[in-house]
Amino acid sequence: MAEVAKAVNRERSFARQVAKLQLGEGETFHGETILAVTKALLQSGVSYVGGYPGAPVSHLMDVLADARDTVLAPLGVQFEASASEAGAAALLGASIQYPLRGAVTWKSIVGTNVASDALSNLASAGVVGGALIVLGDDYGEGASIMQERTYAMAMKSSIPLLEPRTHMPKIVDMIERGFELSEASHLPAMLSLRIRAAHMTGEFVCRDNRSPAFGINSPLPGANYDYERIVLPPSTYVQEKAKFEERLPAARRFIVDNELNETFGPSGGRMGIILQGGAYGTMMRGLTLLGAADAQGVTKVPLLVLNVTYPLVPEQIQDFLAGKDSVLIVEEGAPAFIEQQIKAFAQEAGLVCRIHGKGLLPEAGEYTADTVRDGLRLFLEGLPRTDLTETAKSRAGALQQDVDSARAQLNEPIPPRPPGFCTGCPERPVFTALKLLERERGAMHISSDIGCSTFATLPPFNVGSTVLGYGLSLASGGAVGPSLGTPTVAVMGDGGFWHNGLTTGAINAHWNGHDGVLVVLENGYASATGQHHLPSTGSTPWGRQIQVSTERTLKGLGIEWVRRINSYDLGGSLKTLREAFDKRGAGLRVVISDQECMLARQRRERPAKAADKAAGRPVTTQKFGIDEEVCVSDHSCMRVNGCPSLTLKHTEDPLKDGPIAHIDKTCVGCGLCGEIVETVGLCPSFHRTERFANPNLLRRLGDWLNRGLMRALGAS
């Protein structure tokens, strides 16, 4: 796999993005938000950066890996690809004793859950250098995880939470302000970016990158020790007291003094809206649709935009509420932490103001423009009659007519598109084998994991009883096996294995003597996040050649039954899985499927084949097809396959009942179709074709003989 990783490292280039990181004073940056955030970190004088990849912030890690030698090293910035979110959070420990600015990134809320222990200790000890956590909040319609917010974690550990307005210059500015806020309050800070904000395109005027005062090019004067920053009693009691009596008040003062939160629209008035900065874009769109704002962002309704949602500043909230009869709180997700605090602030100040929120807007779920617009309409319609409310009613009626007209154009609802394995994915054949094994042995408890393998819980496989966390599939079946009286099966990728599955899964199962089977899908990457490198890839993200063996690691623990399979050899895979399942009393049995991710393989092979073809060298391309006359139309071939290229096609044959199976042009020739036919004994309608470009002399001779033989057979 090391040679593979080396090749991929050359082909996956972020040179254009790295060039944008080198823009200087007065130059204009144009691009995606997450790249702008990366540039802002360098402008802020960070000493070190780390993190764990996950949507929607993976790109930060990609670009920094490519920029490690050309941009980071000359500045004196250390970059580390952390083994997990907990490792990334622990990296911020450098800022506890030393004046080092550090930033880490991961996908929230799952990553924040993993990092919670380190975050609690970090917040308790406090920091000297600014510590900033850039979070990709995967919440809403495009999310891939459970729907929870980071807010509770910030409150629990007293960590300031920045949710900047969806305006690129503001987001960039809040990066530097985040470091300053952290240093002023001696607390780590979080900066949250929603999916849409992370992928937003915009521009800002750059400043020069700053070398850190201390870093790899300018060492600290010496090691430091301060017992008051150690998280042990009695220091912990002092730290807890400091958090609420010194640090959070300092954070609130910084928020007010530096005007981190913003007001828009007319001053005063009898109504207003308080919103998270991350909801600013959808809020302005909703106001514009109702005629309460224009396309340039000028609003007729007073707005208080909370670019820092925790901690809230009671005096600032109370000043905005004063003199108003009705205020709407736009807070995406549940529980309504912000709304509840604002109601408490109003009650404490004795303000008579009706505060709306979750009653007019949904209790949970993403606040899209349409959702916010509907809530705004209800809010405005409930106010005393004004030109603004009448305009809103008129605009809402016109918009509804447009929606009804659009729906009338659809003959039927748009079909759902659940996620699935890529064409040629090496993980799919493993689930085909497990499905066939269930046919032989009966229903089994199969624990699923986070990653591409989770797609097996969907049709056509419907395999997987639980999903508890990254690398937790093996541990989640620990109490099931004894109750069922049969071995359990756990499936995880090598990303999950190195993240948590080694210690929480394999070591735990081996130590406790679990009777079970672990299937490790070792495709060489954290593929679900975009093919990020792992210890088993063969190299680091920046190209250092090193590989940690999954097999040797397991055997080093004392696990003796470890087998490797070629997942595309379905018969061999089924035989090995059958042996593993039936090997009772042997402790944990591990089956490793070690085929490379097909996307990475195609990324490497397609340019190479194109180059060979252009140079006149022989190139062979394989495709599978289906003989329409042989296909019996029972579609059993699809029930244990699930390949996107294997689909249905209308047939003109009057003797066939329904559509026939069909393989479209996206086929990559992985061979699973033929393997299923051979292993299960289905109809022999599948055939493999090979296309040769620039054939050599031997191939031409073989083709001439084949054609001659076919002509002879045809004549006879």
329, β-bridge pairs? 274
The one-character DSSP state at 462 is: -
More confident site: 91 or 60: 91
* Strand extents, DSSP E, 570-685: 588-593, 619-626, 646-649, 660-663
Quote the pLDDT of residue 12.
Answer: 60
pLDDT per position as a tens digit, 443-490: 999 999 998 899 999 988 998 889 998 999 999 988 888 888 889 999
Minimum mean pLDDT range among 30-39, 421-430, 707-716: 707-716
Architecture of domain 16-256: 3-Layer(aba) Sandwich (3.40)
More confident site: 622 or 447: 447
Structure tokens at 17: 């993005």
**Confidence label for 680 from pLDDT (cuts 50, 70 and 90):** confident
Which whole-number Å values give the CA distances from 684 to 164, 588, 628, 644, 691, in the listed order?
60, 38, 11, 20, 21
**Which is it for strands 660-663 and 646-649: parallel, antiparallel or unpaired?**
antiparallel
What per-residue string of b and e applies to 173-188 under the rule 16 or more CB within 10 Å gives b? Answer: bbbbbbbbbbbbbbbb
Architecture of domain 428-600: 3-Layer(aba) Sandwich (3.40)
Rounded Cα–Cα distance for residues 34 and 136 (Å): 9
CB 185 within 8 A of CB 248: yes
Rounded Cα–Cα distance for residues 553 and 557 (Å): 7
* Residue entry with tokens 């505060």: 355
Rounded Cα–Cα distance for residues 76 and 99 (Å): 15
- The answer for residues whose C-beta is within 8 angstroms of residue 619's C-beta and 6 or more apart is 609, 612, 613, 692, 693, 694
**Confidence label for 716 from pLDDT (cuts 50, 70 and 90):** low
CB 647 within 8 A of CB 713: no
Rounded Cα–Cα distance for residues 583 and 560 (Å): 12
Of 513, 509, 522, the residue nearest 564 (C-alpha): 522
User: Same fold for the domain at 16-256 and the one at 261-401?
Assistant: yes
Domain boundaries, the chain: 16-256, 261-401, 428-600, 618-715
Quote the pLDDT of residue 112.
Answer: 92
pLDDT per position as a tens digit, 654-673: 878 788 889 888 898 888 88
3-state secondary structure of 263: strand
Across the chain, mean pLDDT equals 89
Quote the pLDDT of residue 7.
Answer: 41
Rounded Cα–Cα distance for residues 302 and 272 (Å): 5
What is the mean predicted confidence (pLDDT) over 700-709? 86
The one-character DSSP state at 456 is: G
3-state secondary structure 290-306: CCCECCCCCECCCEEEE
Share of the chain above pLDDT 90, in %: 54
Residue 617 has pLDDT above 50, yes or no: yes
Rounded Cα–Cα distance for residues 35 and 134 (Å): 12
Residue 610 has pLDDT above 80, yes or no: yes
pLDDT per position as a tens digit, 209-253: 999 999 999 999 999 988 888 898 999 899 999 999 999 999 999
Minimum mean pLDDT range among 60-69, 91-100, 324-333: 60-69
Residue 404 has pLDDT above 80, yes or no: no
pLDDT per position as a tens digit, 531-543: 888 888 888 888 8
Residue 53 has pLDDT above 60, yes or no: yes
Is 3.40.50.920 the CATH number for 261-401? yes
Rounded Cα–Cα distance for residues 705 and 711 (Å): 10
- The answer for residues whose C-beta is within 8 angstroms of residue 127's C-beta and 6 or more apart is 92, 95, 96, 182, 183, 186, 187, 188
Quote the pLDDT of residue 170.
Answer: 96
Residue-by-residue DSSP string for 156-223: HHT--EE---S-HHHHHHHHHHHHHHHHHHTS-EEEEEEHHHHT-EEEEE-------SSBTTB--SS-
**Confidence label for 1 from pLDDT (cuts 50, 70 and 90):** very low
**Confidence label for 580 from pLDDT (cuts 50, 70 and 90):** very high
What is the mean predicted confidence (pLDDT) over 41-46? 97
pLDDT per position as a tens digit, 148-204: 889 999 999 999 999 999 999 999 999 999 999 999 999 999 999 988 888 899 999
Quote the pLDDT of residue 142.
Answer: 74
Largest CA distance in the chain: 103
Structure tokens at 659: 């559509």
Structure tokens at 254: 């910084």
Structure tokens at 279: 């909801």
Rounded Cα–Cα distance for residues 466 and 529 (Å): 21
**Confidence label for 10 from pLDDT (cuts 50, 70 and 90):** very low
CB 707 within 8 A of CB 671: no
Quote the pLDDT of residue 311.
Answer: 98
Of 172, 90, 92, the residue nearest 132 (C-alpha): 92
Rounded Cα–Cα distance for residues 153 and 378 (Å): 32
CATH of range 618-715; options 3.30.70, 1.10.3470, 1.20.272, 3.30.565? 3.30.70
pLDDT per position as a tens digit, 497-552: 999 999 999 999 999 999 999 999 998 888 777 788 888 888 888 888 888 999 99
303, β-bridge pairs? 264, 273
Of 101, 92, 85, the residue nearest 125 (C-alpha): 92
Which DSSP helix (H) or strand (E) runs through 51? strand 48-51
Quote the pLDDT of residue 166.
Answer: 92
| HSE of 17, CA atoms in CB hemisphere, 13 A | 22
Q: Environment class of residue 416 by beta-carbon count within 10 Å: exposed (0-12), middle (13-18) or buried (19+)?
A: exposed
